[in-house]
Structure 1
Amino acid sequence: MIQMTDVSKIYSNGSVALSNISVHIDKGEFVFIVGPSGAGKSTLIKLLFREELPTSGHLVVNGWNVGQMRPSEVPYLRRSLGIVFQDFRLLPNKTVYENVAFAMEVIEAPRREIQKRVHTVLDLVGLRSKARAYPAHLSGGEQQRVAIARAIVNKPLVVIADEPTGNLDPDTSWEIMKIFDRINKDGTTIVMVTHDQPMVDAMRKRVIAIEKGRIVRDQARGVYGYED
């Protein structure tokens, strides 16, 4: 699914965001990326969907060599990914149904397929009854569930989540994490950046810790910090 070999990212101002990162993530894994602010977590995520390019090293995502892709190929890489952000990024003038359907309309899916698939994912995230509601009328947790539905509607191989519970209360965060866990159990790879220590400690998934642009720990069934 994801293979990073000696990947570094140095910005034009000389700032070293990542330094010789090597990591392999297999199909169906659930991986937390943790570390202090400024450690390089967001840069790592941006490399995966080619918002940023590696300065050096080898990065393959879902069979695409990210560093050597032509610009015209980037949309095809992104179609194999689902991306969930902390700030939801919903379209305010579209309903819940329309926000989710839009991701399929972009790839010109047949209308009947769109209707069937959108209702399926809204059932999965528990929002079928809110299909006609607009984002402004939803709670933060409901908006994040719409964002998740939109991310998975095209059946991506990998879902990338950047602080998906960062703006949510603990109870709502648990509900959101249960959805991610369900998606993962259906075979989708999950890569999630988070600062939510209790959640990471309770889930006991693989944990990759980054500090100052380097991987300092890669632990199966890990916790947020080091165990005694």
Structure 2
Amino acid sequence: MTDVVRVIRQSQGTEDSISLKQQRNNTRELAEELGADSLDTIDLGNTSGFSLFYKDSDDNGRLDAQPEVQELISGLRAGKWNYLIAHDDTRIARDEYFSVIQHAALVGGCELRFVSDVPDDRLTFRIQRVVEAETKAKEIEKSKAAVEHRRERGYYHGTPPFGLEFDSEGEYLVKDMDEWPIIERVFELRERGLSYRNISDEIGTISKSGVGNIIRENRELYLTRLDANHPAVSSAD
């Protein structure tokens, strides 16, 4: 029996171009080449590749804090699999935690195989991991600084809700004139006492939950942009 386990993971950063679907396909092909009789999957989705080596101990987003990774380590040590495969080594870890997994695999007699080549030279590997870790840390800091910059200036942060869009500078929310008539209609019908379901049926292009999001979740964003003579504005006053 040839038992194989694969790790599927995509970095949370936008620079990561190896899609989860692509990883599932190419690791399945590699497993077949290895003659796998069974294929287990550790699918981490969009997860940070850094462990306690680079993150705070109370950060639950750490790679080594993931239950699936802990199960992987236990299984490797117990000799559950013949091969551990991934698209490349960075799918497994982007810092020294890779050596933890390597050691667990060594204890359990599991061989690591990758779809893409990884550095054989240990110094090259070490340098590559350090550079990637520092680059990732800088990206995170830049992202945090950008978010704080927007908040300090009162810019909207996040995806614009239905009926609104960013202005030409990408800073403030303005009416999306293609969708805004629906917003006005939703509040008009609500003022007439219609239920969310009835409003959805009346308009026909928005779901019941969508109506709820407009009336409850983003109410203030809409009310401040409705014309002063709109019934929802006058009743709020």
TM over 0.5: no
Higher helix share: 2
Structure whose alpha-carbon radius of gyration is higher: 2
Higher strand share: 1
Instruction: Provide TM-score, normalisation by structure 1.
Output: 0.28
